[in-house]
Amino acid sequence: MRKTLWFISIVVIASLALAACGGGATTSTDGGETVTVVETVVVEVTSSAPVVVAPTGFGVTLETVKARGNLICGVNSQVPGFGYVDANGAFSGFDVDYCRALAAAIFGDASKVEFRPVTASERFTALQSGEIDILSRNTTWSLARDTELAGNFVHTTFYDGQGIMVPVDSGITTLKDLEGGTICVQTGTTTELNLADVMAAEGVSYTPAVFDDADATFAAYAEERCDAVTTDKSGLVSRRTVLADPSAHVILDVTMSKEPLGPMVRHGDDQWFDIAQWTVFAMFDGEEFGITSANVDDIKASATAPEVKRLLGVEPGMGLKLGLSDDWAYNIIKLVGNYEEVYNRNLGPDTPTYIPRGFNSLYTDGGLLYAPPVR
């Protein structure tokens, strides 16, 4: 529908431009008076559903996913709280639950998702090649990834920053204390690049010890093969919980970068981008409107607020605009939960990977989470 409106707008604007440029105007002088006749440009809409030339790729991903019968989501498997697989092969985490929410929106069934673990270096190729339908794996939105890696980032789901962790007994409290030291870091990440920038700016020389995945990076740190380990602060909180003695390690009070993390899709399929994007917004809205997995049926039955009615499909039409059924957002909240529920399940005060909400609070609570209107 959005594309339809764009199409009509383009036709109308083009027509007006033609007229304004004089393409359809004639001027004559009649009895001393100048008369300008602007020919009417008729935009003929022959049916209530004008033909829209959709860009190549539009709608392909949803069709592929539906035909396959499940979503393939690229996730982390080594970062508890975000993307983790246990000994029984069960996946859990904040990014993993986003995949479930997307499956709920599409299929009305949060279990229709296959989790495909991808390392930092593999993830973009996996997305570009079509091996995965979406990447939901603590991935930082950056200009190069948006352009040369042919990705589109949907709205940020977790605002983060890069941190650095050291053993408590090292006595290190600042980056300058790491002069001449070795720092463990994972390849294929923004972390590796930021470290070089920040240390250069601080005038600190160091040796990077570079590894392919989180297990190898943190094993090297645990074996004291480096003086510090750096990654997103969320990653440090997470991986500290699986060190032999978490209390023996401290995350320095230093933020080395902005790391806005969120799901990423391929260029070329705007419908898929919209679905992925509005899945995030439906979770924000659930929290903002006080709709939870526990009360969504009651709220749906008694809703009077127009936006809540549109969100939950009581008033039809919104799902169709996304190519989904009208209960898409109801299913997300009912089957997976609103943003707060998903956050607390994975990163809340009752979890080992507790991270205070901070920027990841609703705008009404002083945070950065803000969904556009559902209308």
Ligand X SMILES: N[C@@H](CCC(=O)N[C@@H](CS)C(=O)NCC(=O)O)C(=O)O
The residues binding ligand X (CB under 6 A) are: 76, 78-79, 119-120, 138-140, 186, 189-191, 213-214, 231-232, 235, 239, 259, 261
Contacts (Cβ under 8 Å, ≥6 apart) of 15: 41, 43
Least distance from ligand X to the Cβ atom of residue 189, Å: 3
| DSSP secondary structure of 33-91 | EEEEEEPPPP----SSS----PPTTTTHHHHHHHHHTSEEEEE-SEETTTEEE-TTS-E
Cβ proximity to ligand X, 3 vs 258, nearer residue: 258
Cβ proximity to ligand X, 82 vs 343, nearer residue: 82
Cβ proximity to ligand X, 191 vs 353, nearer residue: 191
- Could you tell me the maximum CA-CA distance found in the chain, to the nearest angstrom? 99
Q: Half-sphere exposure of 20 toward its Cβ, with a 13 Å CA cutoff?
A: 6
Q: Which H or E run includes 18?
A: helix 2-20
Closest alpha carbon to 259 in 162, 164, 185, 120: 162
Cβ proximity to ligand X, 234 vs 279, nearer residue: 234
Least distance from ligand X to the Cβ atom of residue 259, Å: 5
Report the C-alpha gap between 98 and 74 in whole angstroms. 11
Cβ distance 214 to 228 under 8 Å?
A: no
Least distance from ligand X to the Cβ atom of residue 85, Å: 10
Least distance from ligand X to the Cβ atom of residue 258, Å: 11
Q: Provide the token pair at 361.
A: 């609070």
Least distance from ligand X to the Cβ atom of residue 82, Å: 7
Which residue number has the CB closest to ligand X?
Answer: 235
Least distance from ligand X to the Cβ atom of residue 133, Å: 19
Least distance from ligand X to the Cβ atom of residue 261, Å: 6
Cβ proximity to ligand X, 261 vs 318, nearer residue: 261
| DSSP secondary structure of 119-178 | -TTTHHHHHHTTSSSEE-SS-B--HHHHHTT-EEE-S-SEEE-EEEEEEGGG---SGGGG
Please, is 269 exposed, middle or buried when counting C-beta atoms within 10 Å of its C-beta (0-12, 13-18, 19+)? Answer: buried
Cβ proximity to ligand X, 282 vs 355, nearer residue: 355
Torsion sign across C-alpha atoms 165, 167, 172, 178: negative
Least distance from ligand X to the Cβ atom of residue 215, Å: 7
Q: Which H or E run includes 264?
A: strand 264-266
Least distance from ligand X to the Cβ atom of residue 143, Å: 13
Cβ proximity to ligand X, 120 vs 178, nearer residue: 120
Cβ proximity to ligand X, 67 vs 87, nearer residue: 87
Torsion sign across C-alpha atoms 331, 335, 340, 346: negative
Cβ proximity to ligand X, 80 vs 319, nearer residue: 80
Cβ proximity to ligand X, 227 vs 232, nearer residue: 232
Tell me the helix, strand and coil percentages in the chain, rounded to 5. Answer: 40, 20, 40
Least distance from ligand X to the Cβ atom of residue 12, Å: 42
Q: What is the number of other CB atoms lying within 10 angstroms of the CB of residue 212?
A: 14
Report the C-alpha gap between 98 and 88 in whole angstroms. 21
Coil, strand, or helix at residue 373? coil
